Amino acid sequence: MGRIMNGKTMDKWASRFPLIRKIAAMDELLWLNPGYGRTPASIAVTAADVADAERRWVRFAPYIRKAFPETASANGLIESPLYSVPRMKEFLQASSSVPIPGRLMMKADSELPISGSIKARGGIYEVLKTAERLAIGCGLLKESDDYAVLADDSFKAFFSDYAIAVGSTGNLGLSIGIMAAKLGFHTTVHMSRDARQWKKDLLREKGAEVREYEADYSTAVEAGRRQAASNRRCHFIDDEHSKDLFVGYATAGDRLKKQFQKAGIAVDGGHPLFVFLPCGVGGAPGGVTFGLKQAFGENVHAFFVEPTHSPSFLLGLLTGLYDRVSVIDFGLDNRTAADGLAVPKTSAFAGKAAGHLISGCLTVCDRRLFQLQKGLADTERHWIEPSAAAGIAGPQMLLGTEFGKHYLHIHHLTEKTADATFLLWATGGGMVPQKIRAADYERASRI
């Protein structure tokens, strides 16, 4: 009898899901989601939820603009640029034999204002929603008010009676910590052992309390959730269950649609859009995918990318067990330089709300992450963190692997790839200090 993994031997698992052997062996792979396009068992998020979120961002824009002057040029809207990356396309083609037809682009969430990562979408959104609920509930604010008043000292004093807490490997903590502390909340960030030191230092500097754990992400979240439960005035932002986070991410869909329109780039039946999203618990890529599906329907194809050491979303979706399965069960160590993706278990909420929208999942090894991160810096002068580089491996795995080609074939996309856009979602790296960038670059150069 072999080792028991989540109740079954490897032979039993592999007889149902042959790919599990490759996952356990930490091979890079592409998996096609058999549940893609299926009707979900229940509807967790609706288009109305996303529209409501977008209106909330608009209400808060005058406050954001005032509290974070760097957002003035965008009128207080937190959005990132969309870039064409032709030199990166050449780099990728030169370093592998797989040509990329069509256009290669990058959505630079690494340049999102305030916290420099995709977490600025969901994390900041949930903080704002919490603040609005409290202020309106106490009769201090109306939806028709100019929310710039929230920057007044009287509101800071009001929010200081309340607390916001979160568990994080880094970027979610940064987004929530910076925003919540700015509003005046007592803010606690519970950080896992993967969190990089500079993220902890920066948070403390911004006025948040940082609690450190010598354990993984799920453990830090669990500790935070427990401590927050004992304080009635504390709102715990739960990355493993939150609908608000998800909806905040989803507003990206319509924004991207407008950016494509403005750039004169078509996304339609003849011009498919392939999006590659780095994935941790699945909330950020799941929410973004939900928004993209609202915006582009069947013409967008979303693939999630995870480290070979932490394919938690892939395992959750493949087995149908979602958060009831951990990468640890399959002998993986969840150790990766992609700190933002180092999670052993997925979010059940994201899996259920977006599982049917995802075309497939891919895994990449850390070595490749460093090469891609450096390649992007060398060719396009865009700096992103290792987690954010995961998506860059996507186009060639789709175009060059047996399963990827099969996907293109069955969806009648093979002939359309020349007119397609391949979009790399560069999820973070904007806040990384210069010293750390230099060290990361140096490490990548040695590979």
The residue among 119 and 182 lying less far from ligand PLP, judged by its C-beta, is 119
Q: Which is nearer to ligand PLP, 109 or 329 (CB)?
A: 109
Q: What CA–CA distance (Å, rounded) separates 346 from 247?
A: 17
Residue with nearest beta carbon to ligand PLP: 280
Angle of CA points 7, 28, 284, to nearest 5°: 80
What does each C-alpha distance from 248 to 64, 179, 241, 301 come to in angstroms? Answer: 15, 14, 14, 20
Minimum CB–partner distance for residue 406 and ligand PLP (Å): 26
Output the smallest distance, CB 198 to ligand PLP, in A: 14
DSSP H or E segment with residue 195:
none
Distance CA 223, CA 227 (A): 6
Minimum distance, C-beta of residue 164 to ligand PLP, in the bound complex (Å):
18
Segments in 192-242 forming alpha helices (H): 197-205, 217-229
Tell me how far apart the 2 most distant CA atoms of the chain are, in Å.
67
Residues 6+ apart with CB under 8 A from 94: none
CB 253 within 8 A of CB 294: yes
Which residue lies nearer to ligand PLP by CB, 102 or 283? 283
Listed residue (55, 56, 52, 61) closest to 79, CA to CA: 61
Distance of closest approach, residue 361 Cβ to ligand PLP, in angstroms: 12
- Indicate the residue among 253 and 280 with the shorter CB distance to ligand PLP: 280
Vertex 23 angle, CA 20 and 26, to 5°: 155
Residue with smaller CB distance to ligand PLP, 88 or 150: 88
Are 388 and 426 within 8 A, CB to CB? yes
The pair of three-digit structure tokens given for residue 425, joined into one six-digit string: 């979602």
Q: Shortest CA distance to 345 belongs to which of 395, 402, 409, 280?
A: 280
DSSP 383-435: ---HHHHGGGGHHHHHHHSHHHHHHHHHTT-GGGGGG-EEEEEE-B-TT--HH
CB closer to ligand PLP out of 299 and 373: 373
Q: Which residue, 237 or 284, has its beta carbon nearer to ligand PLP?
A: 284
Of 33 and 387, which CB lies nearer to ligand PLP in the complex structure?
387
Residue 219 · residue 240 · CB < 8 Å: no
DSSP code for 115: T
Q: Which is nearer to ligand PLP, 91 or 304 (CB)?
A: 304
CB of 299 to ligand PLP, least distance (A): 23
Report how far residue 272's alpha carbon sits from residue 416's, in angstroms, rounded to the nearest whole number. Answer: 7
Closer to ligand PLP at the Cβ: 224 or 282? 282
Residues binding ligand PLP (CB under 6 A): 117-119, 171, 278-285, 340-341, 385, 387-388, 427-428
Minimum distance from CB of 375 to ligand PLP (Å)? 17
Q: How far is the CB of 34 from ligand PLP (least distance, A)?
A: 21
CB neighbours of residue 298 within 10 Å: 10
Q: Is 443 exposed, middle or buried (0-12, 13-18, 19+ CB in 10 A)?
A: middle
- Least separation in angstroms between residue 230's CB and ligand PLP is 26
Closest approach, Cβ 438 to ligand PLP, in A, equals 19
Q: In angstroms, give the least distance from the CB of 179 to ligand PLP.
A: 15
Shortest CB 239 distance to ligand PLP, Å: 7
The residue (of 150 and 221) whose beta carbon lies closer to ligand PLP is 221
